[in-house]
Amino acid sequence: MDDILLMLPGPTTVDPRVLQAMAKDVVNHRGDEFGEIYTETTKLMSKTFQTKNDSYIITGSGTAAMEAAIANTIPRGEKVLNAVGGKFGERLADITKVHGMESKVLDVEWGTAVTADKIEEALEADEDIKAVTVIHNETSTGVAQPIEEIGKVMKNYDALFIVDTVSSLCGDAVDVDKYGIDVCFTGSQKCIAAPPGLSAITLSDDAWAAAEKIDAPTYYLNMLKYRDNGNKTPAQTPYTPSVSLIYAMKKALEIVQEEGLDARVARHHNAAAATRAAVKALGLELFPDEDVSSATVTAVKMPEGITDSQLRGTMLDKYGVQLAGGQDHLKGNIIRIGHMGVISYKELAITFTALGLTLKGLGCDVDPGAGVAALANFY
């Protein structure tokens, strides 16, 4: 397994320094030493979110933060506009319904992006909408949503703006304060490039005001408890955290700052452009239009006459490169190439060498080196 190159939309390859950080002795999670580490980690998290608001680390995957975002800020029975154009948009809508809110789904075709105009139309049509949820980077389709433009619309309405940046933070532009995001959350194992198992969340003053007015129907994910415990001396989490994973998150965020957030985002955008060029050079077709394509994962239509098991199976078994398949009705119809985290030219070159050889071996009329050659224009 050590020889497998993960080119997935998470989990991603982890820097050796991050892995080494987890080797540090476990300390008392109620003591001064951990309190200092936790405080430094949450401050780094706020810096990464680009917000003046405090951030909190949850021991749980991105779905835990999804649920915390919904359960803590919207009363039962109220309306939530869920923008849905993929599997994770559906998940937020499901969480909305589980917690007793009325989900008003704004459906967009998978492979396309929701527009700020559509959000505005929905808000104009129903003044009772209390929150709008958007998946910034829909990994199931390889589509990036225009959260900055949506944020400009949201500033004209009282509804909370809730944004999932699980697979975009550190890989695409996310500026919580500038974009007017009220609740923003992310996961550890994507562009941050830490191990799976943690999520992070930050709330605006308006979101906290909403949270203080309701009795959140969640115990473990109660954000008022996270805030109260985070304000203690030493800072704590309300329940036992994954101490070692927080060591890893801290180191991963330090590496982000070391690279520079803007530089890291630019690197991801360059890798995405290079990936799209390489895909087209091999005669393959992108799933979404390029103008809405993700900066962190590229979705590609399956070549005609080739099955998912043939393509991805050969990539993995013969060349040691692991790609992701499609989800839901896209299963067997697309492949997804993750280019997030510590990805560089080397990983992309290995991937497209393997992909070119795989296509050639499966009988496609293709120059197997065309993909790698296309990368050269970007590196």
Residue 25, SS3? coil
- 163 pairs with which residues across the strands? 134, 184
10-residue block means of pLDDT along the chain (379 residues)?
Answer: 86 96 97 98 98 98 98 97 98 97 97 97 97 98 98 97 98 98 98 98 98 93 97 96 98 98 98 98 96 98 96 97 96 97 96 98 96 96
pLDDT for 3 equals 83
pLDDT for 105 equals 98
Cα–Cα distance for residue pair 114/135, rounded to 1 Å = 10
Q: CA 164 → CA 63, 64, 360, distances in Å?
A: 10, 12, 38
Q: CA 240 → CA 234, 341, 364, distances in Å?
A: 14, 28, 53
Q: Which two tokens stand for residue 237?
A: 């989490």
CB 338 within 8 A of CB 8: yes
C-alpha closest to that of 48 among 180, 201, 196: 201
Residue 292, SS3? helix
pLDDT for 1 equals 46
CB 89 within 8 A of CB 82: yes
pLDDT for 2 equals 60
Q: Which two tokens stand for residue 259?
A: 């690279």
Residue 315, SS3? helix
